Amino acid sequence: MSQAEIESLLKKTMGLNSVSVGSATISRAVQKRMNSRGEPDINAYYHEIIHSRSELDKLIDEVIIPETWFFRDNKPFQALDQIVKDKYKKETTKGKKIRILSAPCSTGEEPYSIAMVMLNNGLRSDQFQIDAIDISSRNIEYASIGIYGLNSFRGDDIRFRDKYFIDSPEGYILDNSVKKSIKFERANLLDPSFKINRSNYDIIFCRNLLIYFDRQTQSDVLTRLSDLLNKDGTLFVGHAEGGALIGSWSPSREFPGAFAFSKPDPHVLANSLKNKSTSTGSIGITRKQIEEKPLARPFSSVTKPVIPANTQGKGKAHDLDTAAKLANEGHLVEAAKICEEHLRDKGPDTQAYFLLALVREATGNRQQAVDYLKKVIYLNPEHYEAMVHLSSLLELLGDINGSKNINERASRIKNKAS
């Protein structure tokens, strides 16, 4: 028995693709559990986890990446606010209850942020329901307590903390008005019984989970979520996960940068699943899909003046704008080609590297994306957006300290600018 068997058990149980977190992370987690069980033999430990659900759960708690914070990425919450105002608020006066799923919810910051958006809209807690699930019982327990440390408050605007929390020696205690609107539950999104006894949702948040899955698992989970979403509902995914939905789900043009998608037509979904066999990338994009379907405009920021003025040649702005436009339309291969040609002809350039990084990120090649982002930061040490992307990618690759350092550097730049 070897670590490979344990990795394969984790993949089967929770979908974790060892490539996404790295075998070393899994090895450290296994070692930690073996030490605390006083078990030096990996074979014996493997037998323990296949026979003891509680030990397997403890190993899962060790391998998961629970990283989360209130109003993470902000844009999805602004989009939610707008959707509630435009689409649902009026209906609640006629008795509608807005149903929302936060899966995975980790330690609760995401569903509580959702609840704050609802309460800020003047909704009563009986006018909406938020189901929040996570595979980790430790996370669910933490979430249900509702006391948070400083690390959970990372944005620039934390006025919500004064409104909904009480500062105490134990930490920031969440107000009951927010707590009571959420039903926390330990659940596994991969479990075939996950859908049973659940009514459909108007909004689903499934952010920063698909990145840990391989293509087939992403596709299975997305089919499950599609079944659970109302016809005119909205699915939010994480900023590095939009690529997994290309070709079947429709990105919302109304909320760029929020990674909001509408439910796929069942026929389109069936076809896209059939086409997966001709996939070109590791995140489920077929060549045909890359050519035909637009992304949720993750590349729009590239057209902003992120490069120092003295490096902006006339021809350059033109061809890189074209590349950004192509990337936004889903023509990732062509966009990358233009950037590469640009770099070959005109030498190192922040804008070309940054766009290439985003393209690589969208096609699942995180390591290359990291390398390009490092080049951007080397050329322009004040490049805030590159740092934000690099920080999340490092987190995904399991380099939590590296991610934290870059995140702190990005915050310093932002503070300096404001």
Ligand X SMILES: C[S@@+](CC[C@H](N)C(=O)[O-])C[C@H]1O[C@@H](n2cnc3c(N)ncnc32)[C@H](O)[C@@H]1O
By CB under 6 A, is residue 79 in contact with ligand X?
Answer: no
By CB under 6 A, is residue 127 in contact with ligand X?
Answer: no
For the bound state, the minimum distance from the C-beta of residue 245 to ligand X, rounded and expressed in Å, comes to 16
User: Can you tell me which of 17, 106, 380, 391 binds ligand X, judged by CB under 6 A?
Assistant: 106
> For residues 215-254, which are near ligand X according to CB under 6 A?
238
By CB under 6 A, is residue 190 in contact with ligand X?
Answer: yes
Q: Please check whether residue 103 is in contact with residue 132, taking contact to mean a CB–CB distance below 8 angstroms.
A: yes
User: Can you tell me which of 68, 113, 248, 289 binds ligand X, judged by CB under 6 A?
Assistant: 68
Dihedral sign for Cα atoms in the order 214, 272, 80, 176 = negative
Tokens of residue 384, six digits: 């805030």
In the complex with ligand X, which residue's Cβ is closer, 186 or 346? Answer: 186
User: Can you tell me which of 181, 208, 218, 219 binds ligand X, judged by CB under 6 A?
Assistant: 208
Residue 255, SS3 per DSSP:
coil
Tokens of residue 401, six digits: 């300290």
By CB under 6 A, is residue 204 in contact with ligand X?
Answer: no
By CB under 6 A, is residue 15 in contact with ligand X?
Answer: yes
CA distance 246 to 244: 6
CA distance 315 to 45: 61
In the complex with ligand X, which residue's Cβ is closer, 89 or 138? Answer: 138
By CB under 6 A, is residue 108 in contact with ligand X?
Answer: no
User: Can you tell me which of 66, 155, 171, 398 binds ligand X, judged by CB under 6 A?
Assistant: 66
For the bound state, the minimum distance from the C-beta of residue 411 to ligand X, rounded and expressed in Å, comes to 18
Q: How far is CA 398 from the centre of its chain?
A: 14
Tokens of residue 184, six digits: 């926390």
- Binding part of the chain for ligand X, among 59-67, 239-247, 272-280, 346-354 by CB under 6 A, reads 59-67
Which runs of consecutive H residues, i.e. helices, occur in 154-249? Answer: 159-164, 176-179, 215-228
Calculate the alpha carbon distances from 83 to 121, 270, 321 in Å. Answer: 11, 28, 31
Phi, psi of 274 (to 5 degrees): -65, -40
Q: Please check whether residue 8 is in contact with residue 18, taking contact to mean a CB–CB distance below 8 angstroms.
A: no
By CB under 6 A, is residue 139 in contact with ligand X?
Answer: yes
User: Can you tell me which of 135, 140, 143, 386 binds ligand X, judged by CB under 6 A?
Assistant: 135
Contact residues toward ligand X (CB under 6 A) are 14-15, 64-68, 72, 104, 106, 110, 134-136, 139, 188-190, 207-209, 238
